[in-house]
Amino acid sequence: MSLEPHGEPMLEEFAANTLLMLLCYGYVLVVIFMSSRIEKLFDISRKSSRKFLHAMIGNLPFVIPFFTIGFFPFFVAAPFVLVTILASPYTPFKGVRGKLKGLSEISSEGHPLGLVFYAISYSVLALFSASRAYVVAAGVLPMAYGDSLASLVGERYGRRKYRLMANKSLEGSLAMFLGSFLSFFLSLFFFSAFYQFSLAAQVVPAIAVALIATVAEGLSPMGFDNLAVPVLSVLAFLFSGGGL
């Protein structure tokens, strides 16, 4: 019995998913390259270039619905756990870190393992929630856009300071809440074209995501918010009924 009628479509599907994964790799590499250059091109701080990297990498959940094989979104993110470790000060291969100069310079701003934690968070979410990309977005977008906006607003306009486990400002925390809510809720308009859920039913879960993300960011020591915000945001989304 010939397997060609079944084998060829499967091979084509695998090839299409592989191509999409490679395009994602290309996108990430371009973003890393741009992040390492915009500091000088536009005379911005290294912190701003790092937040640009955060935000642009946070767009990857929008690609997940186009994968038809479930493990591919995980393999989009997982290699960058190793790459960010190699670019960090904790790399066992100093020569490799030198070749990743652009990324290593960005990593030097803030917690040296911050980008590693970010890659780990995305990888774990993609592993367990690839079938519901909007759940991945619930964890990634508050970190990508909420935290980035909070950092930039807090640095420039933060006047009302407070300290729990790290120095924060009320202005930055408000930016965190608004950035998290708007980025995630607006993303649901996109995801609703692929998944069967009511946008009206997602308003309260989106508010819960933004609230918990803001609290987690306010309580987390530097760098560890890249773990705490995604995990707690997803839990808030699921427990408030958003994952249905």
Res. 105 pLDDT band, cuts 50 70 90? low
- Which is more confident, 240 or 102? 240
pLDDT of residue 15: 94
Q: How far is CA 5 from CA 10, 17, 18, 55, 202, in A?
A: 9, 19, 21, 43, 42
69/131 Cα distance (integer angstroms): 9
Interval 118-134: pLDDT, tens: 889 999 999 999 899 99
Backbone angles phi and psi of 203, in degrees to 5? -65, -50
The whole-chain average pLDDT of the chain stands at: 84
What average pLDDT does range 143-153 have in this prediction? 88
Whether residue 102 is predicted with pLDDT greater than 60 in this model: the reply is no
Handedness of CA 33, 37, 41, 42 (dihedral sign): positive
Res. 7 pLDDT band, cuts 50 70 90? low
What average pLDDT does range 91-117 have in this prediction? 64
What average pLDDT does range 88-117 have in this prediction? 64
pLDDT of residue 100: 61
Which residue's entry shows tokens 């069967």?
A: 196
Whether residue 104 is predicted with pLDDT greater than 60 in this model: the reply is no
Highest mean pLDDT pick, 49-53, 157-161, 206-210: 206-210
Whether residue 13 is predicted with pLDDT greater than 60 in this model: the reply is yes
87/102 Cα distance (integer angstroms): 9
CA 172 to chain centre: 19
- Amino acid at site 187: S
- In the structure encoding, which two tokens stand for residue 146, read together? 């909420």
Which of 13-22, 103-112, 204-213 is the least confident region?
103-112
Backbone angles phi and psi of 50, in degrees to 5? -65, -40
Whether residue 210 is predicted with pLDDT greater than 90 in this model: the reply is yes
pLDDT of residue 243: 67
155/119 Cα distance (integer angstroms): 24
pLDDT of residue 82: 87
Cβ-contact 50, 35 below 8 angstroms: yes
